[in-house]
Structure 1
């Protein structure tokens, strides 16, 4: 971010790739070799670095911890092409809204009747309302059928000759208790039992999202208060501050080593627009910054790109995907081994070399 000059960058683990280089060279060493870009250390434009290795590592962690649960990536939260290509290479499923999908949810009679008219061959999943009281962003007030309606809805699906294949629920975003999932799965079990009695053979359980695997920490210091203006804010890549209550608190980190005894100041940090609503933080504990310093913001994946705007004439931050050379080669091999469909030009070695 630009501190009236201060630039910023977001990405979880890229600094480990070249520990010996000076701070700014570590960033630009990642984006310069293979990308045609005008971003330089003296640039005043914000940009994002997408750490594709982080995507791969988390996918592997999911498969290790939940081997029976196939992940479906929510495209709406970050549709960066390179991220989608990597997930496709990993054979991940995709959760999206499109006229061409063949599997969809329903939670009311009206939806079933519309589906019977517009897409009678669709594979349907009954979404149920569950207890989401432990979540920061609750969804069951808007989506999901109560258990008392399940038998009626499944019966109507049978009468309309529609195919119901499963049950889904969502405990809400930022769920803080595992009991919510336990109770929701128990409710889903009841739906399976009701379906069995009606002769409806369902085999899929969609457990939605909402898991909160992050932890928060606080810092304090003896310094006074400072105020900074940077070149990205809540109308840009940091929209999660106001739009996503489940997002962990934003941490602004200087792109340099901070001494153990270095004074940290309680700092007010503003975004670049004319709107006083554009405040990134009113209590960031950071050491004193100078014009031209860089700030890092980690874990800015979901919704940071898809909800950003160009309000007030400030362009959206560019995204530069990065990945280790070893993983890059593996992706290229896997991609080129996939048999192409007629007319499909989206998969190939040349495309993956550029990521």
Structure 2
């Protein structure tokens, strides 16, 4: 069945209308408290369905190609595959992963800007023709290994704001596009479109305006909610140009919640606090440092290159008037880079308590390090019956029910329950 792996080692809990995400988290924590306090995710796959409905309502002319590196867990890929979404792959392993879902080669794009020749040959053998290119050396390499390739010229965008450091950039200039077109003609390679990338941290509207305008310029050279009106201007329906997008965070970020356990604690009465904190505390107030069983060498890997876009919530109940203390959170590696949260206000916690991070579905569930005997968090998938009905409307038949099971509103998990996991 397209969209579902035959041997996928996971299942999805169907929640009745009385059960909530909080219920699932509570019961998973209850189970882990008795069997070993391992970090875990709860993935609400129904949110993927809702995001796709929203996309179709607002951005219907634009076909989404999901970047697999954003979150490559089997539940996510199979749900998106069933919804008819395309996939943007950056490696041979990612291409093979989505091929196993039964996705046709026409719905796969090879997007790595620096491709290995062997992986280009793999794409050619698999019939994956569409790939990106931003320089003549890469173009020649593609021509040698994949003569039937259809290229998207990757153009650079000006998406660096004043408070961001300059990162390694990919993409060619408008000026160089004509040269690349001439090279492509010389080597007999088709250029069929234009690609640009804007960081999900970029909030500058002008970046999108410039990028879409530049893309129009490239088409003019040789290729015969702010975004939608611009597309109507630069690429109207009668132009015959198909517009695609790579919405990664959009689909998966809010769908996953991470639960971590406090494994160690330190108490200090140090006056050297982050700026702005000294004025809000008494000198004799303690400062707490907590170590959790996940860190930057695992689920918080994106913290090494960007700001954390979620704040921790305390799982245990505490009184509204309970005092809050300056706290910091660190991963289990004892590495100086393994700081998750530099400064936050929390009630005093104990070893064994749990913290919850939401919006953890993007950039956290790919290949992860085994640093310091790190154990990958377990993944529990869930979906409401209303979302399941939406999935059926999208074309899923009862044959796929093998991946689903009913979870009643009064959930009490035990080791025999099939609220299955993907490690």
When normalised by structure 2's length, the TM-score is 0.65
Matched with 2:351 is 291
Q: 1:246 to 1:118 in 2, by over 3 A?
A: farther
Preserved contact between residue 82 and residue 394 of structure 2 (Cα < 8 Å):
yes
**2:79 pairs with 1:27:** no
Q: 1:26 to 1:112 in 2, by over 3 A?
A: closer
SS at structure 2 position matched to 1:323: strand
Matched with 1:306 is 366
SS at structure 1 position matched to 2:176: helix
Matched with 1:253 is 313
Preserved contact between residue 156 and residue 170 of structure 2 (Cα < 8 Å):
yes
Q: How far apart are 1:247 and its partner, in Å?
A: 4.5
Matched with 2:86 is 93
Q: Which runs of 5+ in 1 are unaligned?
A: 1-13, 33-37, 215-219, 339-346
Aligned with 2:330 (options 254, 259, 270):
270
How far apart, in 2, do the equivalents of 1:230 and 1:211 lie?
A: 25
Q: 1:258 to 1:178 in 2, by over 3 A?
A: farther
How far apart, in 1, do the equivalents of 2:290 and 2:57 lie?
A: 43
How far apart, in 2, do the equivalents of 1:158 and 1:254 lie?
A: 60
Q: How far apart are 1:208 and its partner, in Å?
A: 5.3
Preserved contact between residue 254 and residue 296 of structure 1 (Cα < 8 Å):
yes
**2:133 pairs with 1:106:** yes
Matched with 1:129 is 156
Aligned with 1:240 (options 278, 295, 302):
302
Aligned residues: 315
Q: 1:234 to 1:246 in 2, by over 3 A?
A: closer
Question: Superposition RMSD on alpha carbons, in Å?
Answer: 3.5
SS at structure 2 position matched to 1:70: strand
Q: Which runs of 5+ in 2 are unaligned?
A: 1-14, 93-121, 225-238, 254-276, 406-417
SS at structure 2 position matched to 1:226: strand
Q: Deviations over 1:84-124 (max 9, x none)?
A: 11101111111102332321011112222222221111221
Give the number of the structure with larger relative contact order, counting CA–CA contacts within 8 Å between residues 6 or more apart: 2
Matched with 1:317 is 377
Q: Deviations over 1:196-229 (max 9, x none)?
A: 57xxx98344555698999xxxxx9757522222
Matched with 1:158 is 185
Q: 1:59 to 1:262 in 2, by over 3 A?
A: farther
**2:136 pairs with 1:84:** no
Aligned with 1:176 (options 183, 197, 203):
203
How far apart, in 1, do the equivalents of 2:135 and 2:336 lie?
A: 43
Q: How does 1:8-47 map to 2 (within 5 A)?
A: 18=19, 26-27=24-25, 29=27, 39-40=32-33, 43-47=36-40
Preserved contact between residue 64 and residue 247 of structure 2 (Cα < 8 Å):
no
| Structure with higher strand content | 2
How far apart, in 1, do the equivalents of 2:217 and 2:29 lie?
A: 52
Preserved contact between residue 63 and residue 243 of structure 2 (Cα < 8 Å):
no
Q: How far apart are 1:334 and its partner, in Å?
A: 5.0
SS at structure 2 position matched to 1:133: coil
How far apart, in 1, do the equivalents of 2:165 and 2:389 lie?
A: 40
Matched with 2:112 is none
Matched with 2:143 is 116
How far apart, in 2, do the equivalents of 1:286 and 1:31 lie?
A: 20
Preserved contact between residue 152 and residue 194 of structure 2 (Cα < 8 Å):
yes
How far apart, in 2, do the equivalents of 1:17 and 1:83 lie?
A: 24
How far apart, in 2, do the equivalents of 1:124 and 1:288 lie?
A: 56
Preserved contact between residue 62 and residue 242 of structure 2 (Cα < 8 Å):
no
Preserved contact between residue 191 and residue 223 of structure 2 (Cα < 8 Å):
no
Q: Deviations over 1:154-175 (max 9, x none)?
A: 1222232222211011123411
When normalised by structure 1's length, the TM-score is 0.76
Preserved contact between residue 169 and residue 207 of structure 1 (Cα < 8 Å):
no
How far apart, in 2, do the equivalents of 1:90 and 1:31 lie?
A: 32
Q: How far apart are 1:145 and its partner, in Å?
A: 1.2
Q: 1:51 to 1:212 in 2, by over 3 A?
A: closer
Preserved contact between residue 329 and residue 341 of structure 2 (Cα < 8 Å):
yes
Preserved contact between residue 171 and residue 210 of structure 1 (Cα < 8 Å):
no
Once structures 1 and 2 are overlaid, which stretch shifts more, 202-211 or 284-293?
A: 202-211
